[in-house]
Structures are given as C-alpha cells and as structure tokens.
Amino acid sequence: MLPWCGPTASTPPGSSSCNLNGPYLFSLPSRRSPVEGTFSPDGLLEARFRVGNAPNLREGEQLQWANELQGSEGVMPDREGYSKGCRRFWRWLVLVSLLLSGCGQVISREPPTATPIPTVPQPTVGLVVPRLRPTATPGPATPSPIASPSPTPTPVIHVVQAGETLISISLQYGVSVEAIQAANGILNPQTLQIGQELIIPMGDEVAEGSPGLLLPTPTPAPVLVENVAFYRTPVGSLWCLGEVVNPGEEPLENVELRITLHDPAGAVLAEGQAAAALDLIPPGGRSPFGLLFNAPPDTYDRYLVTPLRAEVAAEGAVLYTPLTVAEVEAGPSGPLFEVRGQVVNETPTAMTQVTVIVTTYNAAGQVTGFRQARLPDELPPGGRLPFALSLIPQEAQPVEYTVVAEGRPLQP
C-alpha cells in the first residue's frame, strides 16, 4: 500500500500535498469526488489511483475512499461522481506529468542503493607561499694526495769549539766517531781544528745496525778501570765515578766506556756511556770519568764497566800535550774543596785550550769527585797561567787529590 496524500480532514478538496518519502503523488481538484494517482520516481506514470467517496467534503468531515484501482482494471460503480472523477483523472494526467515538479513535494520510497556522487571541494582562493626544502650543499671535493718524494734529511752542521773532540761531539749527537769521520773525510782525529765545520750524519747516512750510540773499535787498546764508586744524590739519581789508566807505552785518545747495572740474574737494569775527562792519556797516566743515572733502579746486584774505545794517538798528529802543574795548594772551604796553582808550559810551542782537571779520593782510593776547567788565555812557551777550582765531593773532605793539565799546540 503506497503512502497517499491528498484531501484529508485537514486538507480540503481542491488542495494538494506531497511527501518526499515516496513516489510522486498528485491529487486533482474536484468539485465532486476527489481523485488521486501516483508517479514513480523516474517520472513514469504508475497507473494507480483512487477516487474519494465524498464529492463535497466539508471542513471537519472525514474523507472516505473507494477501493484502489490498478490501471483500467476493476469496475467501480458510478455513483456520486465516481466515474466522473476517474475520467477527470485521465484528463489531467498529461498536464500533471508536466507540472508535477512544481505542484508537489517528493515522497520517497526506500530508494535503491545509489552510487554516491563524490563531493567536489570548492577551491579556496589564497596566497600559498611554497616552502622550500633545504638541499644539501655538496662540500668541496677533497683533492687526492699528490705523491711527493720523501724529504732528504737536512744535514746537521757542527762548528768545532775550543776543547771539543770527536768523542764529545759524537756523544752530543748520538752517532759514532767513525760515522763523523766518514762523513767528513777525517783520517786522523787529531787534525780537528777550532771553527772547523763538521757534517753530522743523520738518518740513512748513519750505518745500518747502529743503535745511535758510539760503536767500539774492533780492537781497543788495553786500558784499566780503577777506583769505581757509586753515589746516590739527594734527588734520587746515581753517580758512577772512576778512573781509566793507560798501562801502555803510547798515549791514548778517544777513550770511551760503557757502564751497566745488573740484577742477580745478570739482566741489565740500566746502562750508559761515559768518556774520559782527558782527551789524551799519556803512558802510565790516568783520567777520571763519570756517568749520572737520572732514573736508576732502586737496587742492583752488580755493575760492569767495559771499554768501548781506546785509540793509540798517531805519531806526529797529537793534538793535545800534557802540561806541568806547579805551586798547588788545596784544602776545604766549608762544604767545598778548593785547589789553586799554576800551569806551566815547558814546551817550545804556545798552547791554547789549556784544561785543568782535579780528582778527589776517599780513604779507600775511590774517586769521590772531579772537576775540569778550561783557562781562557793562551799559554806561551815558558809561560804560566794561574788557576783556582772548587768542587763538592760526594763524600766528606777528600783524603787525597790529583791535578793534571793539558793544552793544544797553537798552529802557526
């Protein structure tokens, strides 16, 4: 049963109403019997109508309907305007179909599921500032390293100073005397001159296998090591003092020693090298030496002093000459031990680089200290130079001391 709309008790005949929840529904105005029909939502006529039973319905009266008719089916008595109402229905049919959208509302059935029409959003007019995304800026390309030749070590030039020897210079730079001699073409170390420039070999110029220290000669001249003693200092270092004696009949030069400290198993705990204080040790002469261990072991079982170098001075090429010491006076002065005297040149040659060396001993004959000083003036033949030295022995005031001097002949 379709929902109908049309004249009711509250809607007088001659008016029309509609409902959007069903098919199009119309009612025809009539002075006699009201007539209603329906159209389907697609606009086609659905031949379905009904005729009212009260041609002249008054306000407050209830309309009574006759049976529904489907198309032309069914017979309905033509009483009280029924048949006329039906004819009016067909007469108005075309007109109603044209005016349907303007004379009523829509009464909808349960509509079939329709495909929803997407809602097109209305564009909003406005200024849009684009946001720029930061981009990575490529860094400068790192250039490939260019292979460059290894730098050649810059040669070290040493200017010989007064009192220096090849031994002292080699100790200063940590290279062997042979390496210095080979680099400078020195056949006789005694020909070394003050102001002479020496090339100190470095890097590959040093012989392979050299530990960076002075190398011993294959056959060092015989020497004696005597009166060795060790002394702890207040700051924790350790002094090794002793003497080298030349027992031969030829003067010795370039004398160098190696001192090692050992544990009970014989392993080396500390080691170092020292050179004799005198550049030239005459036959039967002696020279003090000393080595300071800055970081010695707390204890050691024994020590060993080994001669590394001792060369016989070449005849006619002696660079240093022993000098005479005269009028010597010595004695304590507070904690110091002072020695005064004169150096006498008894040779026919003037001397330069005159050096005085004082050595002190304890009651056991061990060396307790030594001091060497170079006099500033030249010493002519037969001339004298006064000197005064002071030192602090490692023990109490010495029981014995010795003073020796040497000089270098002045070249004409």
Regarding whether 404 and 343 lie in a shared domain, the answer is yes
Q: Of the given ranges (5-19, 45-59, 205-219), which has the lowest mean pLDDT?
A: 5-19
Q: What tokens were used for 212? A: 């960076």
Counting Cβ atoms within 10 Å, is residue 244 exposed (0-12), middle (13-18) or buried (19+)?
A: buried
* Range with top average pLDDT, 151-155, 192-196, 247-251, 285-289: 285-289
Regarding whether 303 and 222 lie in a shared domain, the answer is yes
- Report the distance separating Cα 261 and Cα 293, nearest Å: 10
Banded model confidence at residue 95, pLDDT cuts 50, 70, 90: low
Give the domain CATH number at 270: 2.60.40.10
Regarding whether 56 and 99 lie in a shared domain, the answer is yes
Q: Of the given ranges (5-14, 345-354, 356-365), which has the lowest mean pLDDT?
A: 5-14
Regarding whether 226 and 191 lie in a shared domain, the answer is no
- Of the residues 314, 333, 353, the one at which a domain ends: 314
Q: Is residue 346 part of a domain?
A: yes
Q: Do 242 and 367 meet the contact criterion of CB atoms below 8 Å apart?
A: yes
Q: Is residue 277 part of a domain?
A: yes
Q: Is residue 190 part of a domain?
A: yes
Q: In the block, which residue shows the tokens 């015989």? A: 222
Regarding whether 324 and 308 lie in a shared domain, the answer is no
Residue 320: CB atoms within 10 Å: 23
Integer angstrom CA distances of residue 68 from 31, 35, 239? 20, 11, 142
Give the chain's mean pLDDT: 71
- Report the distance separating Cα 342 and Cα 337, nearest Å: 17
What pLDDT does 166 receive? Answer: 82
- Report the distance separating Cα 162 and Cα 179, nearest Å: 21
Count of residues for the chain?
Answer: 412
| pLDDT at 71 > cutoff 70 | no
Regarding whether 306 and 278 lie in a shared domain, the answer is yes
What pLDDT does 198 receive? Answer: 87
Residue 384: CB atoms within 10 Å: 14
Number of domains comprising the chain: 4
pLDDT digits (tens, 9 = 90+) for 33-43: 454 555 444 44
Query: Over the range 142-160, which residues count as b (16 or more CB within 10 Å of their CB) and which as e?
Result: eeeeeeeeeeeeeeeebeb
What pLDDT does 174 receive? Answer: 78
Q: Is residue 28 part of a domain?
A: yes
Q: Is residue 8 part of a domain?
A: no
Q: What are the two backbone dihedrals, phi and then psi, of residue 340, each rounded to the nearest 5 degrees?
A: -130, 155
Regarding whether 275 and 220 lie in a shared domain, the answer is yes
- Of the residues 314, 331, 364, the one at which a domain ends: 314
Question: Residue 39's closest CA among 59, 51, 22, 53?
Answer: 22
Domain of 86? 24-103
Regarding whether 86 and 165 lie in a shared domain, the answer is no
| pLDDT at 303 > cutoff 90 | yes
pLDDT digits (tens, 9 = 90+) for 197-252: 888 887 554 544 344 444 444 467 889 999 999 999 999 999 999 999 999 999 99
Q: Of the given ranges (128-142, 143-157, 284-298, 325-339), which has the lowest mean pLDDT?
A: 128-142
Residue type present at position 58: R
User: Strands across the sheet with 238-245, in order?
Assistant: 224-232, 238-245, 286-293
What pLDDT does 93 receive? Answer: 55
Q: Do 291 and 318 meet the contact criterion of CB atoms below 8 Å apart?
A: no
Regarding whether 375 and 309 lie in a shared domain, the answer is no
pLDDT digits (tens, 9 = 90+) for 281-292: 999 999 999 999
Regarding whether 230 and 166 lie in a shared domain, the answer is no
- Of the residues 297, 314, 331, the one at which a domain ends: 314
Banded model confidence at residue 348, pLDDT cuts 50, 70, 90: very high
